[in-house]
Structure 1
Amino acid sequence: MRLITTLAFLLLAALYAADTPPQVTVSSVRRIFHNGEHNAFTDLIRFRGQLYLCFRSCPDGHMVFNTASAIVMRSADDGATWTQVHRFSIKDRDTRDPHFLVFRDRLFVYTGTWWSGPGTIEPKDYDMNKMLGFATWSDDGTKWSEPELLEGTFGLYIWRAAASGEKAYLCGRRKPGYDIGPKGEGDKVQSLMLESDDGLIWKKRGYFAESAGDETAFLFEKDGSLLAIGRHGGRKNALIIRSRPPFTEWSRRSLDRQVGGPLVVKWGEHTLVGGRNTTKDRGPKTSLCWLVGDALQEFAELPSGGDNSYPGFVALSEKRALVSYYSSHEKDEAGRTITAIYLAELQIP
């Protein structure tokens, strides 16, 4: 009897330990890119044994400008040094929010683009119905294709991507029915789950959110089910979203905070969520959390402030990982605020 009790206790302890996320320390944070422009919206991935980082860079700032471009950098030494390998832009459009996807042995970079025309437009004239997704890709990380428009994305603002089996998936935002009206969509925006066989031609697969949709990061679990973290339009708390194939039924629950520019990834057997947390007393901060059940447990707040967040993640090992993000908490030698790209190293003791 005592042996059975002891074995039961050990089993419960092991299960508890497996479900309890580890402690994490931020061992270093350093600025890795600043060119005097507004640099923002990062993503990070491993492809063919090397690390790749992408982000938007624009001399005119955060808003919609046709001077924006996407930069892709590569590191062969686990993030110690970086070299630019690609930079592209889309004529008369703001090339924005680049994200990676490895699919069919290719490295894709997807970008959502706002129409701006040949000049500068006012925010009141931003039109969701003129949005269009583009992609560029490489088989080796060195030679890149010209940007190609993504069929099925006109009127959609595309965001993060993921792959499962022989399919690729994107988050896309749109007005219901491509409604024509003044800017100020708010709760009316839908966030769609788009599906593709080749990474270039897309169709609707389901809805992450049929109203108040926004940026949505998602990953596929080992059993094929889907977990997503959705920024909730209208400054509401973020959503945790779950579904199973064929993705016709969805569960959605509110988290305890807003999550701007969300990230959701696996690190070992645990789920990491990152993004901008708007604190009451210190303003917006780039935050990293473990997802435990349907709740967030924050383990790190990265040096950040003002315009910031949109993290990328890559695991270097079971105990080390890198997180890219952008922030505007530092100033240049003249005392002017800069918006730069940063890299944080995480360690599990």
Structure 2
Amino acid sequence: MRAVSLALLFAGSLLGWEAELVSVDKIWDRAPHQAFTDLIRFQDRWYATFREADGHVRGDGRLRVITSADGSAWESAALLEESGIDLRDPKLSETPDGRLMLTAGGSTYRNGELVGRRPRVFFSADGRGWTAPEPVLAEGDWLWRTTWHNGRAWGVSYTKDGCTLYSSGDGRAWTRVTDWDVPGCTEVTVRFTPDGEMWAMVRRDRSGDDDFGWIGTAHAPYRSWTWNKAKERFGGPDFERLPDGSWIAGSRHYGDPTTTVVARLGRDSYEPLITLPSGGDTSYPGLVYHDGTVWFSFYASQEGKTNVYLAKIRLR
């Protein structure tokens, strides 16, 4: 579909980089509600995924995968669904054997009330043909994002009792690593430095005095964590390591209006740099660094309904 340009220029400091918002384009708007995005570059093509449904929660959510050779012209590659299950929060990663892996949450509703939930995984060799959904972990878990490092998958699942770090050799069978003592912990993205240090960007729903996000770091075997509190609440967090070793992040900004922001992330700091054209029901970005540019998928509803957008942020 033809992209609709929304914004052109913003500059901000990013350590040794200049961060310039080059463009924001609408790349999908065909469902009543499309949200909760992720983005990956795979086999020299772009793939984005998101949930399609009638609204933000409940219903029979389906997962759309779209693809593009150049990031401008997008087409549908697949539509993943499971009868009676509301699929949401799709996340893409590439397995060590060169396949795409998609993780998602699957919820069951009865008369509009949530009665069960469990993560699912899907696999694809080409981004178009996908395996049937396979339940993983246990009933009540919500595995939010998977990151591969040294041949293993890592991810954090949250339940009503808190967050647990898991690892897997194949994306199907997961082993508990450690439980986190992080009050209100929900959505988590983990990433790695070249020397194997794991970083975590953690959304916290209100627990005690505040709901500010936490930033964590740990070395192998990843059972002992150092935690620092950001001065912002996170929503749909993602972050990516840049060539200079710094981190660029994306999240929801809980202001008036609610927006999606691009931010600098440090061990004990989180600094919003760019507010993207967004509002209302928004955030859940996917970030990919490629050839000096950060490609940043997200959803927003400032045009009257939720649509999926792609921002390009040039670093120099």
Q: TM-score, normalised by structure 1?
A: 0.82
Identity %: 28
Change in Cα spacing, 1:99 to 1:22, as seen in structure 2 (3 Å) is same
The alpha-carbon deviation at position 158 of structure 1 amounts to 1.5
Tell me what 1:94 maps to: 86
Q: In the alignment, is the contact (CA less than 8 A) between 2:31 and 2:52 conserved in 1? A: no
Q: Which range is displaced more, 302-311 or 165-174?
A: 165-174
Match for 1:266: what amino acid? Answer: R
Cα shift readout 1:208-232 (whole Å, capped 9, x = no counterpart): 4453111011101111111011001
Q: Which residues in structure 2 correspond to 1:181-330 (within 5 Å)?
A: 190-234=162-206, 236-269=211-244, 270-279=246-255, 282-318=256-292, 320-330=293-303
Structure 2 counterpart of 1:158: 143
What is the aligned partner in structure 1 of residue 310 from structure 2?
343
- Return 5+ residue gaps in structure 1 as ranges: 1-18, 177-189, 331-336
Hey, what's the Cα distance between the residues in 2 that align with 1:222 and 1:111?
27
Aligned length: 298
Taking the aligned partners of 2:46 and 2:25, their CA distance within structure 1 comes to 17
Amino acid at match of 2:202: G
Please say if residues 21 and 290 of structure 1, whose CA atoms lie closer than 8 Å, have aligned partners that are also in contact: no
Higher strand fraction: Structure 1 or Structure 2?
2
Q: Which string of whole-angstrom CA distances, capped at 9 and with x for unpartnered residues, describes residues 15-40 of structure 1?
A: xxxx9242211111111111141110
The amino acid of 1:40's aligned partner reads: A
Query: What is the CA distance between 1:293 and its match in structure 2?
Result: 4.3
Alpha-carbon distance between aligned partners in 1 of 2:134 and 2:187, rounded to the nearest angstrom: 22
Equivalent residue, structure 1, for 2:62 = 69
| Alpha carbons 1:265, 1:273 under 8 Å: kept | yes
Partners of 1:226 and 1:236 in 2: CA distance: 23
C-alpha distance in structure 2 between counterparts of 1:211 and 1:232, whole Å: 7
1:203 Cα shift? 2.4
Q: Does residue 33 of the first structure (1) align with residue 9 of the second (2)?
A: no
Q: In 2, distance between residues paired with 1:28 and 1:209?
A: 40
Q: Say if 1:25 and 1:210 are closer, same or farther in 2 by CA, change over 3 A.
A: closer
Deviation at 1:259, TM superposition (A): 1.1
**1:27-78: per-residue Cα shift (whole Å, max 9, x none)?**
111111111411100000011111110000102x00121x21000111112x
Distance (Å, rounded) in 1 between the aligned partners of 2:22 and 2:170:
39
C-alpha displacement at 1:149, in angstroms? 1.6
How far apart, CA to CA, are the structure 2 residues paired with 1:245 and 1:84?
39
Q: Distance in 2 between matches of 1:94 and 1:133?
A: 11
Amino acid in structure 1 at the alignment position of 2:315? I
Question: Residues 162, 201 of structure 1: CA spacing in aligned structure 2 closer, same or farther, 3 A cutoff?
Answer: same
Which consecutive aligned stretches of 4+ in structure 1 deviate over 4 angstroms post-superposition? none
Residue of structure 2 equivalent to 1:121: 112
Are 2:189 and 2:200, in contact at CA under 8 Å, matched by a contact in 1?
Answer: yes
TM-score normalised over the length of structure 2: 0.90
In 2, the alpha carbon distance for the partners of 1:147 and 1:26 equals 37
> Does structure 1 retain, via aligned residues, the 8 Å contact 2:216–2:267?
no
The answer on whether the counterparts of 1:192 and 1:209 sit within 8 Å (CA) in structure 2 is: no
The question of whether the paired residues in 1 share the 8 Å contact of 2:155 and 2:190 is answered with no
| C-alpha separation in 1, matches of 2:15 and 2:308 | 31
Compare CA radii of gyration and give the structure with the larger one. 1
